[in-house]
């Protein structure tokens, strides 16, 4: 009887670019545009700079582009550093049913390996789709239990997507692919204690997942054998990392229902669990013509995961911590009019007016939202003003979800905002490559990224 990873391996090895429906190819290109944009902005942040500095200092074969430097480095090093840069902004795409961000593990791994082997955009788009498929399906099966136990799904399950995508790029046979996935499953890691302390280094999780995915494939190509029941075995990932797993639906619609179509994109540079609150608060302020100074209190009712991730009553002391504070991010959005990356600064975190309102924002859970999760990941707000008025709003899903989708124009606008301080001609050149990726090589994409950065 085939194991779970063997079934996935057989599917991945049977697929070709021509098997992908046009809407899947289009969504895949849009998500690549999105991640390259957030990477461009993320490169300016402190932790990516630390990682880039370290990776650039190492000797090694020149295989793949290290974004943010003028060097090429071994593919595993590029995957690590570029994965870190991609997640630093916290504006990368995700999948709400799995509580996971596949792209930041899958895309850096596939690009690094693809560049090292002189592969093309069609191969990449197929590989990326397959990587999202395994990440989203397995994370959906494991959550919310997996998240509830303190694991960061992007690191723990993202490694399987990175291995799957890299394996497709490498043209592995199904035995090699299964071994690569088994080896990858052994390396999944990521603890959510970084939500309480150390948020700066959160991007190390997808970076390590991307690197481990490349490593797993390279080892499988050389004959290394991984455990075939690395997921469902007696000492496998499922039993080690979740209290319950809904595995019977893992393969529902495989080959016809592409889970990449279920991805959301972010319009705020904060944890996704905060987005419905920001959307609702800004909507009421806009519709009722309220100013920041008018706001007295805000009460938020939402689902338990959102409160456990972001509902701390302690106000943040750093920009990274602010991204995981419901109260602070909401107050900041009300003060600034948005929650873009440029708002998350030390000066903003220390702003006494924002902190004062944040101290008057409370959050809790309700049976309504608990039962609706993850079909709905929303919030209900009661907003009271200093003149005694009160307004209520329900936001079942934040902007950017498939049911409330981002348009192509939204994707491009976000990309351009993230690249706003770079050379406009180089940015347009990069965008041209990304929009027509099936006509380009991976090397042409990384060269265009380098031109935009430098």
pTM equals 0.95
Task: Quick: pLDDT tens for 281-329.
Answer: 999 999 999 999 999 999 999 999 999 999 999 999 999 899 999 999 9
Domain harbouring 204, CATH code? 1.10.4100.10
Same domain, 242 and 353: no
Same domain, 234 and 279: no
Q: What is the mean pLDDT of residues 85-110?
A: 96
Query: Does some domain include residue 160?
Result: yes
Query: Does some domain include residue 402?
Result: no
Same domain, 43 and 135: yes
Structure tokens that stand for 171 in this block: 């043209």
Domain of residue 94 covers: 4-267+414-453
Same domain, 299 and 221: no
Query: Does some domain include residue 86?
Result: yes
Is residue 357 within 8 A of residue 331, CB to CB? The reply is: yes
Q: What is the pLDDT of residue 85?
A: 98
Is residue 370 within 8 A of residue 447, CB to CB? The reply is: no
Domain harbouring 330, CATH code? 3.30.1330.120
Tell which residue, 263, 363, 361, 355, has the closest CA to residue 317: 355
Query: Does some domain include residue 121?
Result: yes
Q: What is the pLDDT of residue 240?
A: 97
Q: What is the pLDDT of residue 195?
A: 87
Same domain, 241 and 323: no
Query: How far is 206 from 189, CA to CA, in rounded Å?
Result: 9
Query: Does some domain include residue 403?
Result: no
Query: How far is 215 from 157, CA to CA, in rounded Å?
Result: 15
Query: Residue 248: pLDDT above 90?
Result: no
Same domain, 297 and 352: yes
């Amino acid at each position: 009887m085939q194991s779970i990873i063997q079934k996935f391996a057989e599917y991945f090895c049977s697929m070709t670019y021509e098997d992908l429906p046009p809407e899947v190819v289009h969504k895949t290109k849009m998500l690549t545009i999105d991640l390259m944009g957030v990477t461009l902005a993320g490169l300016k942040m402190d932790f990516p700079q630390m990682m880039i500095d370290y990776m650039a200092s190492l000797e090694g074969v020149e295989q793949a582009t290290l974004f943010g430097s003028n060097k090429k480095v071994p593919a595993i090093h590029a995957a690590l550093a570029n994965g870190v840069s991609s997640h630093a902004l916290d504006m990368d795409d995700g999948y709400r049913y799995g509580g996971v961000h596949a792209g930041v593990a899958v895309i850096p791994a596939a690009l690094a390996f693809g560049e090292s082997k002189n592969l093309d955009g069609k191969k990449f788009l197929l590989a990326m789709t397959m990587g999202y498929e395994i990440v989203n399906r397995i994370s959906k099966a494991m959550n919310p239990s997996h998240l509830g136990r303190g694991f960061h799904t992007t690191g723990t399950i993202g490694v399987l997507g990175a291995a799957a995508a890299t394996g497709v790029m490498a043209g592995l046979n199904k035995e090699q692919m299964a071994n690569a996935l088994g080896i990858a499953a052994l390396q999944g890691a990521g603890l959510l204690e970084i939500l309480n302390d150390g948020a700066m280094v959160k991007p190390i999780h997808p970076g390590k997942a991307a690197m481990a995915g490349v490593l797993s494939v390279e080892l499988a190509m050389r004959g290394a054998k991984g455990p075939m029941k690395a997921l469902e075995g007696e000492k496998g990932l499922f039993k080690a990392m979740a209290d319950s797993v809904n595995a019977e639906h893992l393969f529902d619609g495989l080959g016809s229902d592409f889970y990449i179509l279920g991805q959301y994109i972010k319009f705020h540079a904060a944890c996704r669990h905060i987005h419905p609150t920001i959307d609702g608060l800004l909507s009421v302020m806009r519709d009722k013509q309220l100013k920041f100074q008018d706001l007295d209190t805000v009460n938020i009712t939402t689902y338990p995961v959102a409160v456990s991730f972001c509902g701390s009553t302690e106000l943040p002391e750093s920009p990274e911590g602010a991204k995981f504070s419901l109260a602070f991010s909401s107050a900041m959005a009300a003060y600034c009019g948005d929650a873009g990356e440029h708002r998350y600064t030390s000066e903003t975190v220390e702003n006494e007016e924002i902190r004062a309102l944040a101290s008057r924002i409370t959050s809790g859970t309700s049976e309504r939202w608990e039962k609706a999760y993850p079909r709905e990941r929303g919030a209900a707000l009661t907003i009271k003003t200093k003149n005694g008025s009160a307004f209520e709003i329900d936001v079942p899903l934040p902007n950017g979800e498939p049911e409330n989708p981002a348009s192509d124009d939204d994707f491009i606008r976000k990309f351009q905002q993230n690249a706003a301080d770079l050379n406009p001609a180089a940015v347009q050149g990069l965008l041209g490559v990304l929009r027509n990726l099936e006509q380009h090589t991976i090397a042409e994409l990384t060269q265009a990224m380098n031109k935009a950065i430098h």
